[in-house]
Every structure is written in C-alpha cells, then in structure tokens.
C-alpha cells in the first residue's frame, strides 16, 4: 500500500495524524462526480480508520496477494451502504 501507508508514515513523522481507507470497485461518473457503491464503501472504510491507520477491505487484500504487505484483522462493520458485515484489515506499517 505505498500509495496510502507512505503518506500516513510521512505525516506521522511531521507530528500529523492522518487516516486512510481503501476499497476497489466499479464507479459511475456523473459530470465531475464519481458515485456508486465502491465510493460509499471507500468513504466508510476511511471514516473507520484510526489515526495513522490504513484500513482496507478484503477485496484490496486479495488484489495485493504476493506483494509482501501484511495485514491485521481490525474490524467487522456494516452500514446502510453495505448491510452485510464486512471484515476490515489494517495495513501493518514496517
């Protein structure tokens, strides 16, 4: 997750706490806006991340298999956007 964990680590080095959430899926463009379930899931995952934490969905974990990125089970959640329980994982910082 260099695209998310590097800024989190860099910000922490500056004394700033940020959080990130990652999901992947199809989106729909409506003018300049992007919408669809994947957008809502990504926003929800980001909102659940703690300070200096990168949370990802199982979908992202599967896509990066073999990359050497390690994860820790973090939470199971549901919302109106995705009523089934989703297991989220935290990226382990090295």
Q: Are 42 and 49 in contact (CB under 8 A)?
A: no
pLDDT of residue 8: 74
pLDDT of residue 5: 56
pLDDT of residue 3: 53
Q: Which of 65, 66, 73, 75 is nearest to 91 (CA)?
A: 73
Domains of the chain: residue spans and CATH: 2-91 (3.30.70.1230)
Full pLDDT tens readout for the chain, 94 residues: 455 556 777 787 888 888 889 999 988 898 998 888 888 888 889 998 998 889 999 999 999 999 999 999 986 777 676 667 788 999 987 6
pLDDT of residue 64: 94
pLDDT of residue 1: 46
């Amino acid at each position: 997750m260099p695209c998310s964990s590097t800024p989190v680590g860099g910000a922490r080095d500056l004394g700033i706490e940020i959080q990130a959430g990652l999901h992947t899926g199809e989106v729909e463009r409506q003018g300049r806006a992007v919408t669809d379930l994947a957008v809502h899931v990504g926003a929800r995952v980001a909102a659940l991340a703690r300070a200096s934490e990168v949370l990802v969905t199982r979908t992202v974990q599967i896509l990066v298999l073999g990359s050497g990125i390690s994860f820790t089970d973090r939470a199971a959640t549901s919302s109106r956007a995705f009523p089934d329980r989703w297991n989220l994982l935290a990226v382990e910082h090295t």
